[in-house]
């Protein structure tokens, strides 16, 4: 979530500048504007077979109509279009498992190149040695389950502050703008300005951390860990400050925006489905009894709550088309030759809504996740909100921990209703097209503190 990630990267008084919010949008915009021409690169078919310059034929999630002109055909899973104009469809498993080694690189896009310090980050990096080492660094030193536990006090403190803030709005009978509180969404700006502002922001964070007089915190944060690894020279390449800045950009972009979007979609679904909200709050009450704060150890016991979170990921994957993959080399998928540098979009939303795998897929029905082990860890190819294979999200545990703790506390501490001048039916599912799918209209609700002594 915005609040916890901010604290993890900035224990000082730094705040994420306006530019970060603009940056998130810029990346979303560049995804649409810059990838599309790229896709049409391979015009000439090779002599013996049709090539498959993959075109983005998938729509964003169904409730979201805004991107329909960009996504004209509804085709499930992964879709390619041959140079002859025929549509073909591949399974996610074929591309992310069987042929993962052929599709594990990323297309090079001008905007992302600049923001990722010439692709020396993790998200936008090509699949090379530097990427592999940095990804291991992330998995082992920043986002392992041990690190997730280590950062728990930071998440706890941030969530307590959030509860306090909502409590004071609640006492004043004021509505809470959850979209704003959990992570906001703003409009586009010029790339150069964003890059400059972000670069200065990272510099400021790093110099704060290098300052020998800085206050000593009991817990090291992500920046301390990265600077220590730089100092220890553990890599086959020289880990520079630019690498650190590029990874910081990834943490801020990938770690804040996605969790915030999911938190808002979960609250939206619960408001639209009051019986599910009641069942969930009953579970919270029966497991937590009179405890006022939900601890991370409690979250593990909340079976229905976890099913609600999974169901939100299925219907509203934060990044419905994952992040674009690219063919590393010429390969053959289900009888079609694919040229190197072909962009491939994997439609996690369509995969999670495919009728052969999901009964009544359009319904929000958390019970479908009870009594089975289907999970988003990249093993179940009918449910891949974090991707799968070599490019799977390394921050999955961190993201889930922050999201679940915040949501469980929001739902355990408060009852939620729409403001008096709004009807529940007025809450919509409109989204803003982009890499991360945010709710378009802010979700504003009135919170009432629950009593925990019954």
Residues 396 and 383 sit within 8 Å (Cβ to Cβ):
no
Instruction: Name which of 384 and 446 has its Cβ closer to ligand HEM.
Output: 384
Q: How far is the CB of 369 from ligand HEM (least distance, A)?
A: 16
Q: How far is the CB of 155 from ligand HEM (least distance, A)?
A: 11
What's the CA gap between 363 and 359, in Å, rounded?
9
**Residue 157 to residues 61, 152, 214, 256, 379, Cα–Cα distance (Å):** 34, 9, 20, 17, 33
What's the CA gap between 313 and 263, in Å, rounded?
10
What's the CA gap between 165 and 153, in Å, rounded?
18
Instruction: Name which of 175 and 324 has its Cβ closer to ligand HEM.
Output: 324
What DSSP string runs through 285-314? HHHHTT-SS--HHHHTT-HHHHHHHHHHHH
What's the CA gap between 65 and 429, in Å, rounded?
10
Which residue, judged by CB position, is nearest to ligand HEM in the bound state?
Answer: 395
* Strand ranges (E), 161-269: 176-177
Q: What is the DSSP letter of 236?
A: S
What's the CA gap between 49 and 150, in Å, rounded?
53
Q: How far is the CB of 321 from ligand HEM (least distance, A)?
A: 9
Instruction: Name which of 174 and 354 has its Cβ closer to ligand HEM.
Output: 354
Instruction: Name which of 344 and 447 has its Cβ closer to ligand HEM.
Output: 344
> Nearest 10 degrees: CA dihedral of 105, 107, 109, 111?
-40
Instruction: Name which of 122 and 447 has its Cβ closer to ligand HEM.
Output: 122
Q: How far is the CB of 17 from ligand HEM (least distance, A)?
A: 19
Q: How far is the CB of 387 from ligand HEM (least distance, A)?
A: 3
Instruction: Name which of 31 and 416 has its Cβ closer to ligand HEM.
Output: 31
How many helices (H) and strands (E) are present in the chain, helices listed first?
16, 11
Q: How far is the CB of 146 from ligand HEM (least distance, A)?
A: 15
Instruction: Name which of 351 and 446 has its Cβ closer to ligand HEM.
Output: 351
What's the CA gap between 296 and 286, in Å, rounded?
16
Question: For the chain, what is the largest distance between any 2 Cα atoms, rounded to a whole number of angstroms?
Answer: 75
Q: Give me the residues that bind ligand HEM (CB under 6 A), please.
A: 122-123, 135, 138, 250-251, 254-255, 258-259, 262, 318-319, 322-323, 385-387, 391-395, 398-399, 403
Q: How far is the CB of 96 from ligand HEM (least distance, A)?
A: 7
393 is in an annotated binding site: yes
What's the CA gap between 366 and 425, in Å, rounded?
20
Give the residue ranges of the annotated binding site for heme: 393
Name the binding residues. 393
């Amino acid at each position: 979530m915005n609040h916890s990630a901010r604290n993890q990267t900035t224990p000082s008084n730094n705040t994420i500048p306006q530019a970060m919010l603009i940056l998130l949008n810029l990346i979303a915009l560049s995804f649409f504007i810059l990838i599309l021409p790229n896709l049409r690169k391979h015009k000439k078919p090779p002599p013996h077979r049709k090539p498959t310059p993959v075109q983005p034929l998938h729509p964003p999630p169904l409730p979201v109509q805004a991107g329909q002109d960009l996504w004209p055909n509804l085709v499930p899973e992964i879709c390619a279009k041959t140079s002859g104009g025929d549509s073909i469809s591949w399974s996610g498993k074929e591309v992310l498992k069987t042929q993962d080694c052929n599709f594990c690189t990323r297309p090079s896009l001008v905007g992302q190149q600049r923001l990722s310090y010439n692709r020396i980050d993790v998200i936008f990096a090509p699949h090379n040695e530097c990427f592999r080492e940095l990804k291991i660094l992330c998995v082992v030193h920043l986002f392992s389950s041990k690190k997730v536990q280590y950062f728990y006090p930071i998440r706890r403190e941030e969530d307590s502050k959030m509860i306090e803030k909502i409590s004071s709005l609640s006492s004043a009978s004021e509505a809470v703008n959850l979209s704003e509180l959990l992570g906001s969404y703003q409009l586009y700006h010029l790339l150069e300005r964003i890059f400059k502002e972000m670069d200065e922001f990272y510099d400021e964070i790093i110099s704060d951390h290098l300052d020998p007089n800085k206050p000593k915190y009991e817990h090291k944060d992500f920046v301390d860990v990265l600077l220590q690894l730089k100092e220890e020279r553990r890599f086959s390449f020289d880990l520079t400050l630019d690498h650190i800045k590029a990874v910081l950009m990834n943490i801020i972009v990938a770690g804040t925006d996605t969790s915030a979007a999911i938190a808002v979609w979960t609250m939206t679904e619960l408001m639209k489905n009051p019986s599910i909200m009641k069942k969930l709050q009953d579970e919270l009450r029966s497991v937590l009894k009179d405890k006022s704060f939900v601890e991370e150890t409690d979250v593990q016991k909340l079976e229905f709550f976890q099913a609600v979170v999974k169901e939100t990921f299925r219907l509203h994957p934060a990044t419905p088309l994952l992040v674009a993959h690219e063919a590393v080399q010429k390969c053959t998928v289900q009888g079609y030759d694919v040229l190197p540098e072909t962009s491939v979009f994997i439609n996690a939303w369509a995969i999670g809504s495919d009728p052969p795998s999901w009964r009544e897929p359009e319904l929000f029905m958390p019970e479908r996740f009870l009594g089975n082990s289907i999970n988003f860890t990249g093993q179940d190819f009918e449910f891949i909100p974090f991707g799968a294979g070599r490019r799977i999200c390394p921050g999955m545990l961190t993201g889930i921990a922050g999201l679940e703790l915040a949501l469980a506390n929001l739902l355990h501490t408060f009852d939620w209703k729409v403001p008096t001048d709004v009807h529940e039916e007025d809450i919509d599912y409109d989204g803003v097209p982009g890499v991360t799918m945010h709710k378009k209209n802010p979700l504003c609700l009135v919170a009432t503190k629950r009593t925990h002594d019954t």
